[in-house]
Structure 1
Amino acid sequence: MSRAERYANLAGVVVPFAGVLIAIVLLWNSWVDWIDLAIFAVMYLATAIGVTVGFHRLLTHRSFGVDPWLERTFARMGQLSVEGSVLDWVADHRKHHAHTDVEGDPHSPHVGHGSGLSGLWHAHTGWLMETQGQADWKKYARDLYEDPKMKAIGRHFPAYVVASLLIPTVTGYVLHGFTWEGALRGYIWGGLVRIFLVHHVTWSVNSVCHYFGSRRFDIEDKSTNVAWLALPSLGESWHHNHHAFPRSAKHGLKPWEIDLSALFISGLAKVGLARDVVVIAPERQEAKELAREKVPA
């Protein structure tokens, strides 16, 4: 990782955190209203769906299919999350699945950086200064690497970072009556605070969901399901289920396991925008559960 890449990632961690500190002051002074919260909510959902549905379930695992124009739309939405270019994100995540919780995993809390808090720190944030974006595109994301339009989207990632902050800023400026105060509030709530929360929810899947939580299936890695993260992560925190069946479009496999991303994909399928949605039959789930029960204590 180059020094410039490391500094850019550091800024991506520090600047949104500074925005959260400013937002606390704004809340204390009642300098927030439904417009600010609506901008935050829309930006959060749009960019989080870009990550969970677009980057993850569609582009990384091919859990369902869509037309090329929609695939590229999801890639653009994912890049607005400011979690890296589409090729970097997909390659890193495929490498994670190829080496889960063993040497070569870009962000495991169990290898390479000690255990306990040091391992959790690496999995959550530390990896951004060392291994983020280092997975070989040709090896781990060849399908995207060989797509000129997808490569072009990835190449313009810096412009998406600017757009990710500019969109809520302009929206706040307009909805607050064309005032600079409104622009600042949109920038803070829809920009910095939203980026901070999307980032840390995503990173919590890397860290928390490989350390704390419950397990159901007979798999070798240390992935876990973490129920309290299900809503903010839009279903990604049923991470143990995901590692048991990586191509499943649905990570919440039990009726009570809330998975908003799966509901979104189901909605796309109902209106004809998604096809070939991968569903894991109950028999396959039971077989893997039974296999776990037979493992000696």
Structure 2
Amino acid sequence: MPIPFDIWSPPVSLATETDDLPDTATRGGETQGWAERIALGLFIGLPLLAFVVAIPVAWGGWLGWVDIAIALPMYFLTLHGITVGYHRLFTHKSFKPNRAVKISLAVLGSMAIEGPVVRWVADHRKHHKFSDRDGDPHSPWKYGNSTRGLVRGLWHAHVGWLFDAEQTPQRQYAPDLMKDRDLVWISRNFWAFTLLSLAIPPVLGGLITWSWQGAATAFFWGTIVRVGLLHHLTWSINSICHAVGDRPFVSRDRSGNVWWLAIPSGGESWHNLHHADPTSARHGVLRGQIDSSARTIWVLEKLGWVTDVRWPVKDRIEGKLVKNQQPAAA
């Protein structure tokens, strides 16, 4: 299927309301094969190994300003591809983008290497449907409230669930995305955006320094360390933010706000409000809560590239605060 080039025109549907949807919007099926598990293990294991050696490598002088100048923009661009694109747009429909923004966010999210957009959205919608109950793909409370059960559950919520053989049915949880030709094409070609994400840092590093060493250090910091850091920061929302944190808002699960994850997670760690009001474009709604993803959406709205943004309403927020709840009648 050729990619459409006129990204400014309205999206073209893959199927109408009465047409049958494809079985899957990704190259894999609804059951994870061994090849996928091996690839997933490598993408988790290699960055983790990089973390182990990152500090002594940096201390030894193998970290330069060129590496930082490449790694930081790559981190925050792909991070917001997940937070603004995969999460707030495609999963929760917090705003309406033009086609160029839609495609750009789907590509940047794919370059975070957290899976094809349609599969990611299906998983996250299922998480919200069963949050911290049976059926939740990644609740840290899966194995009970004991210390041993929570430790096991935190591992499951953070990374273990990614290896579950049975995948979330895309037709059931993301039929709207499966009708979108652009998003199906991007999902099916996730591998290409993975390669692009891996290649950009070393290519830039080599061209800027005009040396193989510059390419190698940029690959280490801008690709391996950047991907690993991004993965574990976003996965921490599944694990840490459902185990600890402040809960100023009423929600039907154990989602909490973890302030020290706010900046590196793009505001996603203001997780209690998100589960109290999932479609809100801003998660950090209280004073001092930094939310760079919401600010990104605000900029896009000011530029006229997105519309119908679901900004939080003061009365609605006030009504969801635990301190404002009426006591139950005796």
Aligned counterpart in structure 2 of residue 200 of structure 1, from 207, 210, 232: 232
User: Does the 8 A contact of 1:16 with 1:192 survive in 2?
Assistant: yes
User: Does the 8 A contact of 2:79 with 2:109 survive in 1?
Assistant: yes
Aligned counterpart in structure 2 of residue 25 of structure 1, from 29, 49, 56: 56
For 2:198, the equivalent position in structure 1 comes to 165
Identity of aligned residues (%): 44
Q: What is the TM-score with the length of structure 1 in the denominator?
A: 0.95
Structure 1: tracts of 5 or more residues without a match? none
Distance in 1 separating the partners of 2:264 and 2:301: 23
* TM-superposition CA deviations, 1:61-86 (whole Å, max 9, x none): 01011112210110000000010011
Q: Secondary structure at 2:149's aligned position in 1? A: coil
State which drifts further: 280-289 or 268-277: 280-289
User: Does the 8 A contact of 2:246 with 2:257 survive in 1?
Assistant: yes
Amino acid at match of 1:121: W
Distance in 2 separating the partners of 1:295 and 1:142: 40
- CA change 1:147–1:128 in 2 (3 A) is same
Say if 2:193 is the partner of 1:154. no
Structure 1 position 52, deviation (Å) = 0.4
Say if 2:180 is the partner of 1:141. no
For 1:182, the equivalent position in structure 2 comes to 214
- CA change 1:293–1:232 in 2 (3 A) is farther
User: Does the 8 A contact of 1:218 with 1:291 survive in 2?
Assistant: no
Structure 1 position 22, deviation (Å) = 4.0
Distance in 2 separating the partners of 1:243 and 1:199: 21
Distance in 2 separating the partners of 1:151 and 1:197: 27
- CA change 1:180–1:248 in 2 (3 A) is same
Amino acid at match of 1:76: V
Q: Secondary structure at 2:198's aligned position in 1? A: helix
Say if 2:297 is the partner of 1:265. yes
Q: Which has the higher helix share?
A: 1
Structure 1 position 294, deviation (Å) = 2.5
- Matched residues, number: 294
Distance in 1 separating the partners of 2:35 and 2:88: 30
Structural RMSD (CA): 1.6
Amino acid at match of 1:53: V
Say if 2:126 is the partner of 1:95. yes
Distance in 2 separating the partners of 1:37 and 1:258: 23
Amino acid at match of 2:235: W
For 1:130, the equivalent position in structure 2 comes to 164
Distance in 1 separating the partners of 2:327 and 2:171: 40
Distance in 1 separating the partners of 2:208 and 2:325: 55
Structure 2: tracts of 5 or more residues without a match? 1-31
Distance in 2 separating the partners of 1:70 and 1:163: 19
Structure 1 position 284, deviation (Å) = 1.1
* TM-superposition CA deviations, 1:97-139 (whole Å, max 9, x none): 11101111111001257721100000001111116x8111111
Distance in 2 separating the partners of 1:70 and 1:110: 37
User: Does the 8 A contact of 2:143 with 2:152 survive in 1?
Assistant: no
- Mark the structure with the bigger radius of gyration: 2
